[in-house]
Amino acid sequence: MKKFFSKKRNIVIVIVLVIALAAGGVGGYFYYTGGSSGDDVVYVSSVATITGQTANGLNNRYAGVVEAEETWSATLDSALTVNETFVEVGQEVEAGTPLFSYDMTETEANLKKAQLDLERANNELATMQNDINELVAARDATGDESAKAEYTVEIQQAQLDLTSKQYDITSQKEEISKLQETISKGTVNSKIAGVVKSIANSNDMFSSDSSAYITLVNMNKFQIKGSVNEQNLSSLSADLPVIVYSRADKDTYWKGIITKVDSNNATSNASEDSGDSMTSSSNYPFYVSVEDATGLNMGQHVYIELDQGQLDEDAKGIMLEEYYIDLTDEEHPFVWVDDNGHLAKRDVTLGSYDEETMKYEIKKGLELTDLIAMPYDGLKEGMKTENMDDVASDEEMDSEELEDSEDEMSEDVTEGDVSEESGDIEESGDIEESQGEEVQGFESIEE
């Protein structure tokens, strides 16, 4: 089994190096050696950065608030006027509870008039049919051909009038049906069980952007609305598992999944003082459905983390990708660490191995604050080291200064500069490549 792991580890290292060289070209070489045989520099990153944790063991956290997953709104008919509202804000209602009623005085009067008109039209239709019958009988009784012709003309005209009256009656019946339907909906009932969240002013309804008169929320179905900035937006997507933490009690949490990341409704974080669009960033809402909302309250503020197995890792300790561990001597595994600016070997004690994530538990020998390098041929103890986390942070600040002035030129750009196009530096230390694949612990370097 150990031989299998060793072969798989070698394959992973080759893949990682190929990605680095493809992304950074020759510049990728300088990540590891500084590009000079006379002054070799090995770049190192913190264990916290590599494992996607901060030095205190936390992953990226996003702010969130508990809100109702299901809402329902009753809208007003612009042709009608509200007569009475039966509920008030904050009131709990069941499905079918009357919410408000329309003033049906005019509608009911129109219905009565339409019914009378229909009755009159039916009587007129009967009279017209009798007249036609009498004309037909008179025509059949006469022997005068000229009189027959006159009767026939009168009958045809009477039949046309009859058809027109029948059409009028059909239209009147349809109008009556509409009026009866309107009256039947004179009282609007709730379609869900919940709490009345808001009631608009019915007099201002049609001059505002909202068409909702009464809005209800289902207090039994919660979701979490989170907020992610544009730098971390690409790290979130629907169906990713998350952990929701209580702000009041760090040991209380709920598990769920992201149901939606809304990249079409950004909010700006521009500074009110600067007014500079170059210094602003955008936040985007995303939504989480929890497996069991027991203990959550409407409006409660929470923290959201991607579920990367950290609950299990907290119990195990540090889980490090196997390609950072030199297993040449499987009885004495070690990692390359920074020792006051110089490279050194450090023995580590390994625990369990996760085949799915290809990570070893580090039981002894490493802390999250330690700086380590990826092992490869040519590393020697005593080689100079440079913290890749500091380089990335410095280069990100430099790039922002350059963007603020079109007249400034890039000066003293060394072969260790981090390419802006290669990816954004995440708050958790993860570095995201421009191809969209995340490789922990290193970043492609600009030529």
| Mean pLDDT of successive 10-residue stretches along the chain, which has 447 residues | 45 49 39 52 89 62 91 90 93 94 94 96 95 93 91 94 95 95 93 91 56 87 92 91 91 93 84 53 93 89 87 69 93 95 95 90 90 91 88 52 44 38 38 36 35
User: Domain map of the chain by residue range?
Assistant: 2-49+323-347+369-422, 62-68+221-307, 71-97+191-216, 105-184
Quote the pLDDT of residue 11: 52
Q: Under CATH, domain 62-68+221-307 is a member of which superfamily?
A: Efflux pump adaptor protein, beta barrel domain (2.40.30.170)
Give the amino acid at 204: D
Q: Are 444 and 327 in contact (CB under 8 A)?
A: no
SS3 assignment for 323-354: HHCECCCCCCCEEEEEECCEEEEEECEEEEEE
* C-alpha to C-alpha distance for 1 and 10, rounded to whole angstroms: 14
Measured CA to CA, the distance from residue 261 to residue 34 in angstroms comes to 40
Which is it for the CA torsion 298, 299, 301, 306, positive or negative?
Answer: positive
Task: Please identify which residue in the block is written with the tokens 């609007």.
Answer: 188
State residue 53's pLDDT score.
64
Q: Which residues contact 7 (CB under 8 A, 6 or more apart)?
A: none
Predicted pLDDT at 391: 62
Angstrom distance (rounded) from CA 284 to CA 237: 12
Distance CA 291, CA 221 (A): 11
Q: What is the pLDDT of residue 422?
A: 36
